[in-house]
A and B are shown apart, each in its own frame.
Chain A
C-alpha cells in the first residue's frame, strides 16, 4: 500500500478539467487492485492467531495496510502490545504528511475532516494528487477511499474465514504473504543511495538484534537507521562545504 514515499509537490496552477468518468476509472483501478489484497491481510492475521473479530477490527478501524501487517507480525513474533503498536504507529506517521497535502487540495469543511481522515492513506493520496482540479481531487479521493475501504474490509473477512477453514496456513505458504507485502511496499521506495543505505542498515540491525533483544524491539531499533543515515549525510555535506570554503 505505498504508491509514494516523499509527499509530492503541490501544483500551483490548476490544470484543465478532467471528465468525471476518467477520474472514477483511475480511482476504481487503484481501489479494486489494492482492496483485494485485504485477503492477504485476513489470512496472515488469522494465521498468526488473531480472532476473526480482532482481524476485522484492525481493517475497519486502522485501515492502513502496512501498519496492520506490522502489528500482526510483531504480535505473532511474541512482541508485547506496546512495542508491537509502536512499530505500527511509526509506519502510520507518513499519513500525516499525506494529510498536509490533501487538506489544501481537498479544502474540506472542518466538520468533515475527522471523517475524511480515516481514508488518508497511500492510495487515496496518490489518486487525489494526480487530479488537475479541486472537483476531480475530491471525486478521486472519495471514490478511491470508498472502493478501497469496502473491498479491503470484505476481503479481510473472507481471508480470515478462509484461514480458519484451512487450518495450517503455513502449509499453504501463506506465512510468506506478510514479508512479500512488505517487500512490495518497500521496493518502489529504494530509489536513491540514501534509501538503499537506510534499508541495508535496518536489515542488519533487525536481524542482528533479533536473537538478543525482546520481540518487537529490534524493529524499533532498526528504525533508527533513518535518522542515522540523515545525520551522516548532513555531516558529509557539511564537510564538503568546509573543504570547498578552504579552497
Chain B
C-alpha cells in the first residue's frame, strides 16, 4: 500500500469523524431532530456494516470467493446467536478460520 495514499485516507477520516462527533455536542438539538434524519442515521450503519461484513467475508482482490473466512464468520454468527461476549465472537471467527486453513480448506 502506498503510504501517502494511506495517510491521506487517515487524515480525511480523522477530520471527518471528529467533526461529526463535535457537531452533535455543539448544534442545538432541533437541527438534527427531524424524524427522517434520525431514521436515516440509525439505518445507515446497518447498510454499511452489512455490506462490509459480506465483502470482507467473500472478497479477495476484487472478486467473489468462498474460503476459510466464510466458515469463521459463520462460527461468529453462531456465537452471536448463543449471546456470547464480543471477544468470544471474534475469537471463534479467528480460531475456526485458522482451523479450516490448517486442514487445507
Contact = CB atoms under 8 A, between A and B. Distances in A.
A199 B43 CA distance: 9
B56 A203 contact: no
Sort chain B's interface into a size bin. Answer: 35 or more
Contacts of A210: 55, 59, 62-64
Looking at chain B's contact residues, is the secondary structure mostly helix, strand, loop, or mixed? helix
A34 B47 contact: no
Contact of B80 (A179, A187, A203): A187
Contacts of B29: 100, 103-104
Interface string B12-29: 111011101111111101
B6 A218 contact: no
Interface in B1-51: 1, 3, 5-10, 12-14, 16-18, 20-27, 29, 32-33, 36, 38-51
A118 to B, nearest CB: 7
A7 B38 contact: yes
A73 B55 contact: yes
A61 interface: yes
Interface of B: 1, 3, 5-10, 12-14, 16-18, 20-27, 29, 32-33, 36, 38-59, 61-64, 68-69, 72-73, 76-77, 80, 85-87, 89-90, 92-101
Interface of A: 2, 5-7, 33-34, 36-37, 40, 48-51, 54, 57-58, 61-64, 66-71, 73-78, 80-82, 84-85, 87-104, 108, 113-114, 116-118, 120-121, 170-187, 189-190, 194-195, 198-203, 205-207, 210-211, 215, 218-219, 222-227, 229-230
8 contacts: A40-B90, A51-B3, A66-B45, A93-B44, A173-B97, A187-B77, A203-B50, A222-B50
